[in-house]
A and B are shown apart, each in its own frame.
Chain A
Amino acid sequence: KQEVTQIPAALSVPEGENLVLNCSFTDSAIYNLQWFRQDPGKGLTSLLLIQSSQREQTSGRLNASLDKSSGRSTLYIAASQPGDSATYLCAVPYSGGGADGLTFGKGTHLIIQP
Chain B
Amino acid sequence: DAGITQSPRHKVTETGTPVTLRCHQTENHRYMYWYRQDPGHGLRLIHYSYGVKDTDKGEVSDGYSVSRSKTEDFLLTLESATSSQTSVYFCAISHAHYGYTFGSGTRLTVV
On A, residues with C-beta under 8 Å from B are 32, 34, 36, 42-44, 46, 49, 89, 91, 94, 98-107
Q: Which residues of B contact A91 (CB under 8 A)?
A: 43, 100
Contact A43/B45 with A99-B94, A100-B56 known, Cβ cut-off 8 Å: no
Contact pattern, B 11-46, Cβ under 8 Å of A = 1, otherwise 0: 000000000000000000001010000001111110
| A43 to B90 CA separation, bound complex (whole angstroms) | 8
Q: Would you call A105 and B42 a contact (CB within 8 A)?
A: yes
Interface size class of B (residues with CB under 8 A): 20 to 34
- Among A44, A49, A99, which residue has its beta carbon within 8 angstroms of that of B90? A44
- Among A46, A104, A107, which residue has its beta carbon within 8 angstroms of that of B99? A46
- Among A34, A42, A105, A107, which residue has its beta carbon within 8 angstroms of that of B100? A34
Contact A102/B100 with A43-B105, A94-B45 known, Cβ cut-off 8 Å: yes
Can you sample 30 A-B contacts with CB below 8 Å? A34-B99, A36-B102, A43-B90, A43-B103, A44-B102, A46-B99, A46-B100, A46-B101, A49-B99, A89-B42, A89-B43, A91-B43, A91-B100, A98-B94, A98-B96, A99-B50, A99-B94, A100-B48, A100-B56, A101-B33, A101-B45, A101-B48, A102-B45, A103-B59, A104-B43, A104-B44, A105-B42, A106-B40, A106-B41, A107-B42
